[in-house]
């Protein structure tokens, strides 16, 4: 089963999506299942994972409603719960028994405090996820990798998925050595998986991107995690800022073409299916 392990739906409003700023007009509209389905069908992708774009319990309901009405192509939802609040247990109990609720994410990259993820209350909340069988998606910028390593080490039984290869700054074909070294260190933790997603929007504005530009970054990630801990994601519709859906899919397929069929199958769907428990 081929899976797109990372995409978003939203009903656009300035109030809810203030991060969609100047020069991002392509994103300033509603995106729903009817928009995504023809794109994945054209690429032979049979299922997707919907990921939160708002930090509210209402976002969970919104995504789960879309999933339930998707005729089965939305295989799972990564939502949000208030990890730092005493009500986190109640929220988890409310959603964890929903079969399509697979994981939790917090927008750590937007927290003013780079050490937010190391707070005791955040970690108490995150520690509850394992008991409910939920994955935690790590959304950070590359500068947060040291804190993320500490976070993972506090939760050795928790399954983590790193979004967008930790968002390196792509200013040329040579990856930043600090990003590469920190990714290698994080990759030593075998309970961490990584999404091959979000790279095109980390390319410096005005710098044209192609497969050659991104290859050294993909090489690093493949070396660090290996094909069986990587999963394809489109980051649609955010990817539309720099790439049509089909172009990103083809870029990844071309990159992994020299791997074995089993390794390609892992990246294109099997890893996501296993990690998130997506079923058939």
pLDDT in tens, 128-145: 999 999 999 999 999 999
pTM of the model: 0.97
For 121-173, the three-class secondary structure string (H helix, E strand, C coil) is HHHHHHCCCHHHCCEEEECCCHHHHHHHHHHHHHCCCCCEEEHHHHCCCECCC
Which tokens go with 69? 């009405």
**pLDDT of 231 strictly over 80:** yes
**pLDDT of 230 strictly over 80:** yes
Peptide bond just before 237 cis, omega within 30 deg: yes
Task: Give the pLDDT score at 172.
Answer: 96
pLDDT tens digit string along 177-202? 999 999 999 999 999 999 999 999 99
Task: Give the pLDDT score at 280.
Answer: 54
Pairing of strands 47-51, 192-196: unpaired
Name the CA radius of gyration of the chain, rounded: 17
Handedness of CA 32, 36, 37, 38 (dihedral sign): positive
The length of the chain, given as a count of residues: 280
Residues in a beta bridge with 105: 137
pLDDT tens digit string along 115-128? 999 999 999 999 99
SS3 258: helix
Distances (CA, A) of 226 to 76, 172, 198, 244, 267: 24, 24, 18, 27, 9
Per domain, the residue ranges of the chain are: 3-276
Return the percentage of the chain with pLDDT > 90, whole number.
98
Task: Give the pLDDT score at 279.
Answer: 79
SS3 41: helix
In the block, tokens 């300033």 appear at: 28
Strand ordering across the sheet containing 3-7: 3-7, 47-51, 74-79, 101-106, 135-138, 160-162, 192-196, 230-232
**Among candidates 167, 257, 272, 268, which has minimal Cα distance to 221?**
167
SS3 content of the chain, % helix, strand, coil (to 5): 50, 15, 40
DSSP 173-212: SS--HHHHHHHHHHHTSTTEEEEE---GGGBPTT----HH
Task: Give the pLDDT score at 42.
Answer: 98
Which tokens go with 103? 């994981």
Please give the distance of CA 140 from its chain centroid, rounded to a whole number: 10
CATH number belonging to the domain at 3-276, selected among 3.20.20.140, 3.30.70.120, 3.30.1360.120, 3.10.180.10: 3.20.20.140
């Amino acid at each position: 089963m081929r899976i797109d392990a990372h995409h978003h739906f939203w009903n656009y409003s300035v109030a809810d999506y203030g991060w969609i700023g100047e020069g991002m007009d392509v994103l300033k509209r509603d995106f729903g299942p009817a928009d995504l389905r023809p794109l994945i069908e054209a690429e032979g992708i049979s299922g997707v994972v919907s990921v939160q774009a708002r930090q509210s319990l209402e976002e969970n309901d919104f995504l789960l409603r879309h999933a339930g009405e998707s005729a089965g192509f939305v295989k799972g939802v990564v939502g949000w719960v208030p990890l730092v609040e005493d009500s986190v247990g109640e929220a988890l109990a409310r959603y964890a028994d929903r079969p399509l609720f697979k994981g939790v994410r917090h927008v750590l990259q937007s927290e003013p405090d780079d050490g937010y993820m190391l707070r005791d209350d955040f970690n108490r909340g995150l520690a509850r996820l394992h008991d409910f069988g939920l994955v935690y998606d790590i959304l950070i910028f590359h500068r947060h990798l040291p804190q993320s390593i500490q976070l993972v080490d506090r939760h050795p039984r928790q399954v983590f998925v790193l979004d967008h290869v930790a968002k390196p700054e792509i200013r040329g074909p040579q990856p930043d050595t600090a990003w590469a070294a920190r990714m290698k260190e994080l990759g030593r933790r075998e309970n961490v998986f990584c999404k091959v997603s979000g790279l095109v929007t980390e390319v410096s504005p005005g710098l044209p991107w192609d497969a050659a530009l991104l290859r050294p970054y993909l090489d690093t990630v493949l070396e660090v995690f290996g094909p069986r801990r990587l999963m394809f994601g489109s980051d649609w519709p955010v990817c539309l800022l720099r790439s049509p859906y089909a172009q990103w899919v083809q870029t990844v397929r071309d990159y992994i073409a020299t791997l074995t069929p089993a390794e390609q199958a892992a990246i294109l769907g099997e890893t996501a299916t296993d990690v998130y428990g997506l079923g058939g």
